[in-house]
Amino acid sequence: NAGVTQTPKFQVLKTGQSMTLQCAQDMNHNSMYWYRQDPGMGLRLIYYSASEGTTDKGEVPNGYNVSRLNKREFSLRLESAAPSQTSVYFCASSESAGVLSYTFGSGTRLTVV
Amino acid sequence: GNSVTQMEGPVTLSEEAFLTINCTYTATGYPSLFWYVQYPGEGLQLLLKATKADDKGSNKGFEATYRKETTSFHLEKGSVQVSDSAVYFCALRGNAGNNRKLIWGLGTSLAVNP
């Protein structure tokens, strides 16, 4: 099925470890986004990529880096994980930054101990 | 800046009950408004949207009307089903510059009992 695929679905890290969350979309969308979802905080934008070759910070970029590898793939890296980064991470895409609706992946549940 | 406020949950209803989830917003100009739904263990899905005042978005029996005079976009359904149990998010997107990013409400959890 066409859509946004995130891997892994679950991950447990120790404090200080690094990891990369992968996201790929097969809808030929130009724009991609990384969100984190925390209880009582709703969805917060970490980074986004309006088009291939560009990335920009969102509301909560500290502690993260991103790479727009090509039009399909947008990865999120935690260089030195902290317990405060325990969250559910969602990748999303849209046809362009100006398009109204997003398609979301099913999420990665990350626990940092 | 732009903001969205939606009613706190959880909301618990019996099957076939009437549902209202309130959403109000603050924005300059004429934003677009959305309701997204998140079923357990899944990502968010667009449920419905409205792009101008007095527009009514509808899908799967859900409706919401863009009311500029009350800055509201309340979600309604006449008869809920157990399968409607999910978290519902109201969102807004402005129409100029940095205001074009999606702004999200905190979500309202709905549980429908048989």
End-to-end CA distance of chain A: 34
Q: State whether residue B5 sits within 8 Å of chain A by CB.
A: no
Rounded to whole angstroms, what are the CA distances from A24 to A29, A98, B44? 10, 20, 16
Which tokens go with B111?
A: 């549980």
Contact across the interface for A42 and B89, Cβ inside 8 Å: yes
Q: Is the pLDDT of residue A8 over 90?
A: yes
Q: Are A109 and A88 in contact (CB under 8 A)?
A: yes
Q: What is the dihedral of CA B73, B79, B81, B84, to 10 degrees?
A: 0
Q: What is the pLDDT of residues A71-111, one digit of tens each?
A: 999 999 999 999 999 999 999 999 876 666 889 999 999 99
Q: What is the pLDDT of residues A46-76, one digit of tens each?
A: 999 999 999 999 999 999 999 999 999 999 9
Across B15-61, the runs of DSSP E, i.e. the strands, are: 19-21, 23-26, 32-38, 44-50, 56-59
If you ran DSSP here, which 8-state letter would residue B72 be given? B
Q: State whether residue A97 sits within 8 Å of chain B by CB.
A: yes
Rounded to whole angstroms, what are the CA distances from A15 to A77, A80, B74, B79? 14, 7, 42, 47
Contact across the interface for B43 and A98, Cβ inside 8 Å: no
Q: Are B107 and B23 in contact (CB under 8 A)?
A: no
Mean pLDDT by 10 residues, chain B (114 residues): 89 97 92 93 91 94 96 97 96 72 90 96
